[in-house]
Amino acid sequence: MTLAAAPSPSVRVRAPGKVNLSLRVGPVEEDGYHPLVTVFQAVALAEEVTATEVADGAGISVTVEGPQADRVPLDATNLAWRAAELLAEHVGISPDVALHLAKGVPVAGGMAGGSADAAATLVACDALWGTGLSRGELSTLAAVLGSDVPFALLGHTAVGTGRGHLLTPAMSRGEFHWAFATRDEGLSTPAVYRRFDELCGPTAPPVDLVDDNPLMQALRAGDPSALGAALHNDLEPAALDLRPELERTLEIARNGGALGAMVSGSGPTVAALARSRQHALAIAATWTAEDAADSVWCTTAPAAGARVL
């Protein structure tokens, strides 16, 4: 009689993409980063990372599935790879793990899909390796990996300051419906910030959360119309300057009755807030019909942060 080998232990973790409901950017600082005040909301488009035990000394490997999997690097430049490496180094163990990423967030679209992979990997490897770090410790490691990674751990709705990595949870009532238009050709985040510097220079006013009072009130009230009117993105002029065709995508959403439409984060994704799921589907259908997007996505927000499934 032959015995089947027991499957290797594995841990599966889901982490959300995000939309910046407001993104206020101050003048660039000496370290090259910009001080931010941003209101993040996690969306129901999510990444799933499965971390599977491998033999000692086998190292890290990354495999990817999903509609845009061919656009994701499989080497040490992948943020999930770097997350596993950083956690192993932090606790002083050898980084041996097979990581499988199932991508549900548009790639290179300003929706933090790579950051969600990193957050999910931290949680998955922490569980697989039994390293037992607190959420606070994981969040500190997350901030080393990228400005948006701590929010992918936390999820729901939060105000981000500093580089966007210092988070305070915020109240949000009800469910909001979104349509997203993505482009195959991504926009480089550093390039968008550089264009922001060229357009606004040192004259960019300091950022102030007071400017988001109407937005925070709209979230607390669960009022989609008020939220749509309060959406704000200081990076939008820079993204539009680099990709003028996004103007038409915004205009189509507004003509379709979107409660608000803006470039998402550093772009090139365009986000439209809809009245209902049906309305989000209608906006997405118009984008497709008018050839104003390479892919369209409909989802809801807020959603939970990184968690073991």
| Enzyme catalytic residues | 18, 148
Interface residue with ligand C5P, options 82, 156, 163, 243 (CB under 6 A): 163
Interface residue with ligand C5P, options 78, 121, 139, 147 (CB under 6 A): 147
Pairing state between β 232-233 and 10-25:
parallel
Q: Which helix (H) or strand (E) holds 65?
A: strand 60-65
Q: Spell 233-249 as b/e; 16+ CB within 10 A means b.
A: bbbbebbbebbeebeeb
| SS3 assignment, position 130 | coil
Angle at 264 between CA 261 and CA 265, to 5 degrees: 140
Residue with tokens 């101050």: 26
- 114 belongs to the binding site for ligand C5P (CB under 6 A): no
* Token code pair at residue 250: 């915004």
Pick the closer one to ligand C5P by CB: 35 or 95: 35
Instruction: Please tell me the distance from the alpha carbon of residue 66 to that of residue 123, in angstroms, as a whole number.
Output: 21
Q: Is 66 marked within a binding site? A: no
- 244 belongs to the binding site for ligand C5P (CB under 6 A): no
Pick the closer one to ligand C5P by CB: 136 or 190: 190
CB of 85 to ligand C5P, least distance (A): 16
List the beta bridge partners of residue 261.
Answer: 272
Interface residue with ligand C5P, options 7, 92, 190, 244 (CB under 6 A): 190
CB of 293 to ligand C5P, least distance (A): 24
Pick the closer one to ligand C5P by CB: 132 or 190: 190
* Token code pair at residue 111: 């929706």
List the beta bridge partners of residue 101.
Answer: 49, 64
Pick the closer one to ligand C5P by CB: 81 or 193: 193
Tell me which amino acid residue 197 is. Answer: D
Write the binding mask 7 to 46 for ligand C5P: x where contact by CB under 6 A, - elsewhere: --------------------------xx-x----------
Q: Which residues bind ligand C5P (CB under 6 A)?
A: 33-34, 36, 146-148, 163-164, 189-190, 193
Annotated binding-site positions for ATP: 106-116
